[in-house]
Chain A
Amino acid sequence: GAGVSQTPSNKVTEKGKYVELRCDPISGHTALYWYRQSLGQGPEFLIYFQGTGAADDSGLPNDRFFAVRPEGSVSTLKIQRTERGDSAVYLCASSLFGGEGSPLHFGNGTRLTVT
């Protein structure tokens, strides 16, 4: 079946612009996670959705970052007033239930470059 799909795969934007990154999880997966990964680092947690609600948004670095999942499936990560330090690969993952015993399935990521 289809895995986690992320679009776009690459995004280049200018400093100060607004971007939206989209994630289509595996059908039926209730848990959805956003991570970002910089070169040479492990994925850094941003936010976790259980259904439509954000169960844990403690990883969002500041109020320029916001994510939604209005119908409990597709999620959009929104970044306002982008900065060069936002450049990274943004990874989305979904799991059937969330928590232990429910492995994460990652998408291929969106590579964001802020110039």
Chain B
Amino acid sequence: RKEVEQDPGPFNVPEGATVAFNCTYSNSASQSFFWYRQDCRKEPKLLMSVYSSGNEDGRFTAQLNRASQYISLLIRDSKLSDSATYLCVVIGSGNTGKLIFGQGTTLQVKP
């Protein structure tokens, strides 16, 4: 089983739609979680950190459910420019700082 699992999609949604991605992780000792965004043939970039209390940044909301070991990302009022791959990221055990990436979920927002 992979340490971080995501549904690869693709998710095809119309502009203005609300879309949610989930991600599960296997290591219950994991402490830090992130969502990264990756555009086609570009490098991944940090989108937002995920906190236990949940956090919101504009149209984006990230939540963590430790009991069920899953992380979610909600995008409201989606824009064409939101089209990208969204990578769920967990800091690995052992406090070495290595980030473990999920496979990524591809979002395509259509006019």
Contact = CB atoms under 8 A, between A and B. Distances in A.
A48 B98 contact: yes
Nearest to B44: A106
B83 to A, nearest CB: 16
Interface string B24-64: 00000001101000000011111000000000000000000
Given A42-B104, A100-B32, A100-B91, A108 B43 contact: yes
B97 A99 contact: yes
Interface in A14-72: 31, 33, 35, 40-45, 48, 50, 55-56, 58-59
Interface residues of B, number: 25
Bin the interface of chain A by size: 20 to 34
Given A100-B32, A106-B45, A108-B43, A42 B99 contact: no
B103 interface: yes
B69 to A, nearest CB: 17
Given A40-B8, A42-B101, A42-B102, A55 B46 contact: no
Contacts of A55: 96-97
A48 B101 contact: no
A100 B31 contact: yes
Nearest to A3: B43
A55 B97 CA distance: 9
A99 B102 CA distance: 18
B111 interface: no
A69 to B, nearest CB: 15
A103 interface: yes
Nearest to A111: B41
A94 B6 CA distance: 25
Nearest to A108: B43
B94 to A, nearest CB: 7
Interface string A91-115: 1000100111111101111000000
Interface of B: 4, 6, 8, 31-32, 34, 42-46, 87, 91-92, 94-104
